[in-house]
Structure 1
């Protein structure tokens, strides 16, 4: 999905190099998910099954963490 590519590549270009190792690992694990799963998390705002991914998902979406 083009929307997912835009979100993920934007974060990769702007944040990946400066991100802590834990976020890099979480990002790499996001890339292993199916497009429908990524769409659920990044486009529809559903919570991730993996709690370690949730802060990164919120950052990618631009949603403040609570």
Structure 2
């Protein structure tokens, strides 16, 4: 079972929803990739970052995994500074946005 291990008692409902969705993707790999990032970053995201993160959460897990791992370049609509922050958070090299 996966799920947040961080304590976020003061998150607003929108951030709580995004955090839940990040940890309940459907594949364990993406739970860890997006969930761990959300645990660390969700509280500090501004509204634009949160919009971008929520859009990313709508993508298919297999596609996300390929994009994050560098196997494929994400479509333009998913390329963002936030996406590169996710890659960097997991120790992956940045690519131009």
TM over 0.5: yes
CA distance in 1, matches of 2:83, 2:45: 13
User: Are residues 61 and 45 of structure 1, via their aligned partners in 2, closer, same or farther at CA, if it must alter by over 3 Å?
Assistant: farther
CA root-mean-square deviation:
1.9
How many corresponding residue pairs?
Answer: 65
Q: Which has the higher contact order (CA 8 A, sep 6+)?
A: 1
CA distance in 2, matches of 1:54, 1:48: 10
1:25 to 47, 51, 59: 51
> Which structure shows the bigger proportion of residues in helix conformation?
1
**Consecutive aligned runs of 4 or more in structure 1 exceeding 2 Å deviation:** 44-48, 63-66
TM-score (norm 2): 0.56
Most deviating of 14-23 and 38-47: 38-47
Determine which structure has more spread, i.e. the larger CA radius of gyration. 2
